[in-house]
Structure 1
């Protein structure tokens, strides 16, 4: 038995997230079906985490075990020939049998993209959150500093989750503007359901002058979802990279 690691890029627009689910298309299901076409084996693909419907990835990592003799680095080519156009394997390789895409990961990096302009942009609508009113990134950057470190992020956790502990560590949270595009980049050891999107939604309110940056520590302390901002739309979120030792 061999263990194969995949680094995957996908446009999540037409999918209900990473995880396989009945009656709805998913990234995991599409890749598992393609692996079966290539190897003749029904495999379980283990992802580095879940992404929600319409969320994208530049570097999602997954692994599966196989008895196929295809060289690890050749899986990329074999799978890409049969995958849908909106899913691509960026790289593939054989890894130790005890490697697990989720449990072997040390931390992850997400990028959230905001289009902060007036006219609607058809080519951006599936890959950014459109905010028409002006956003001041200076207070957003200052507010972002309060998120860095180890905190109980219960206020920034989606409602439908069974995770017992909401304590997480954010290593960095950077915000930059390039014209009408604002990018919020966050790295952390792991993330709760909707955590990045709720943080972004709260920072948008700070940038719009609807919240004061000094409210962030209070929101964290309250540990109540209703105290934080709205959940930012899914289409602006990208899983950029998963890190391993």
Structure 2
């Protein structure tokens, strides 16, 4: 998909639609609609309902926590009214607050499901590693004033790749039935003052990435050795782990699906890292059971098995 692809305004879209959404999560309790606080889901449903002139309910690829950002949150909905591609995108954005934006809309078959058909999810945790506090980047990076050894952090993280019990990295209130997750890759790189933890997996536990980031920062500071994450993985005890890293540095940057759905490819975010030049879908997915399982299973079967 070209960066400046024109939006069609002549053909009303019918049937299920997928949306790509970007948001700054600073002002929200997270993705999920709640009665007592502002949520990204509520803002999107309200905006889309105004475009459709009827209630709209959306389902997302993965819920984000309070304060966490997203540059490619994928969701789907069944529109109650036919509108053009341009009407959905421009109409939604006209009714959304400035910290949420719809990037694209794409027709998908009825067997598409943003959550259950996702083959992988990818996050980037961004740390600004410099003596002075951030100013322009303060809302979307975590600041660390102590020198970090990014190469040591990268080496320490490699023990997490593959399928493991991540009990030591899940929040105490995590509601997942199983602590087992499959990490496809985790990389830590320095780009000038930015230290970026780039991680992809089939799914993630509550606070899992922020807890991993906290442990890696302890290694980068020299407070822990490079065997620290291996030790935590073996302990299977969150109480033995490091502090949870702040939410402001975490960005949901990709949700991957079977190529047959033809979802638009985009530069991976956040825009602070645009110089890396990577677009979604460039890296091949690993040959692992979860990817193959979700590719081939009917949607009804996936929902019954995984809910």
Q: Given the two structures, how large is their TM-score scaled by the length of structure 1?
A: 0.97
CA distance in 2, matches of 1:43, 1:143: 45
**What is the aligned partner in structure 1 of residue 201 from structure 2?**
188
Query: Alignment length, in residue pairs?
Result: 245
Whether 1:5 and 2:32 are equivalent positions in the alignment is no
Superposed, 1:47-62 pairs within 5 Å as 47-62=60-75
**Which of 227, 243, 250 is the aligned partner of 1:237?**
250
**What is the aligned partner in structure 1 of residue 76 from structure 2?**
63
**What is the aligned partner in structure 1 of residue 140 from structure 2?**
127
Whether 1:111 and 2:120 are equivalent positions in the alignment is no
Asked if the contact 1:117–1:133 (Cα under 8 Å) also holds between the matched residues in 2, the reply is: yes
Whether 1:176 and 2:186 are equivalent positions in the alignment is no
Higher relative contact order (CA closer than 8 Å, sequence separation 6+): 1
Query: 1:85: how far off?
Result: 1.1
Dislocated runs of 4+, deviation >2 Å: 71-74
**What is the aligned partner in structure 2 of residue 227 from structure 1?**
240
**What is the aligned partner in structure 2 of residue 213 from structure 1?**
226
Query: 1:49: how far off?
Result: 1.1
* Runs of 5+ consecutive residues of structure 1 not aligned to the other structure: none
Task: Give 3-state SS (helix, strand or coil) of 2:95's partner.
Answer: coil
Query: 1:67: how far off?
Result: 2.6
**What is the aligned partner in structure 2 of residue 83 from structure 1?**
96
Task: Give 3-state SS (helix, strand or coil) of 2:255's partner.
Answer: strand
Q: Provide the alpha-carbon RMSD of the alignment.
A: 1.2
Q: Given the two structures, how large is their TM-score scaled by the length of structure 2?
A: 0.78
Superposed, 1:157-168 pairs within 5 Å as 157-168=170-181
CA distance in 1, matches of 2:100, 2:16: 21
Asked if the contact 1:43–1:64 (Cα under 8 Å) also holds between the matched residues in 2, the reply is: yes
**What is the aligned partner in structure 1 of residue 213 from structure 2?**
200
* Runs of 5+ consecutive residues of structure 2 not aligned to the other structure: 1-13, 259-307
Higher strand share: 1
Moved more, 213-222 or 232-241: 213-222
**Which of 113, 121, 139 is the aligned partner of 1:100?**
113
Query: 1:156: how far off?
Result: 0.3
